[in-house]
Amino acid sequence: MKSILVPYDFSEEAENAFQFAQQLASKASCKLKLVHVIEIPTAQHFNTMGEINMEDNFIDKIYMVDLVEKRKDQFKKLEEAHAVKPYQFSTNLLFGNPYAGISSEITAVKADLVIMGSKGSSGLEELLIGSNTEKVVRHSKCPVITVKSPLNADDLNTIVFASDFSEDSKKVMKQLKDFQELLEAQIRLVKINTPNSFEKSKISFERINDFVKANKLENVQIDIYNADSEEEGIIEFADEVDADLIAMATHGRTGFLHLLSGSIAEDVVNSAKRPVWTMKFKK
Strands 276-280 and 220-226: unpaired
Q: Where are the domains of the chain?
A: 3-147, 156-280
How is residue 215 annotated by DSSP?
T
Residue of 131 and 32 predicted with greater confidence: 32
Q: 156-280 belongs to which homologous superfamily? A: HUPs (3.40.50.620)
Distances (CA, A) of 92 to 17, 95, 102, 158, 269: 17, 10, 10, 33, 26
Same fold, 3-147 and 156-280: yes
- What digits encode the pLDDT tens for the residues 95-149? 888 888 999 999 999 999 999 988 754 443 333 334 777 788 878 889 999 998 9
| Separation CA 70–CA 66 (nearest Å) | 6
CB under 8 Å to 150, separation ≥6 — which residues? Answer: 16, 19
pTM as predicted: 0.85
Between 29-38, 40-49, 145-154, the lowest mean confidence (pLDDT) is in: 40-49
CATH 3.40.50.620 is the classification of domain 3-147: yes
| Separation CA 50–CA 208 (nearest Å) | 52
How is residue 253 annotated by DSSP?
-
In this predicted structure, the answer to whether residue 50 has a pLDDT above a threshold of 70 is: no
Q: What is the mean pLDDT of the chain?
A: 84
- What digits encode the pLDDT tens for the residues 152-172? 999 999 999 999 898 878 888
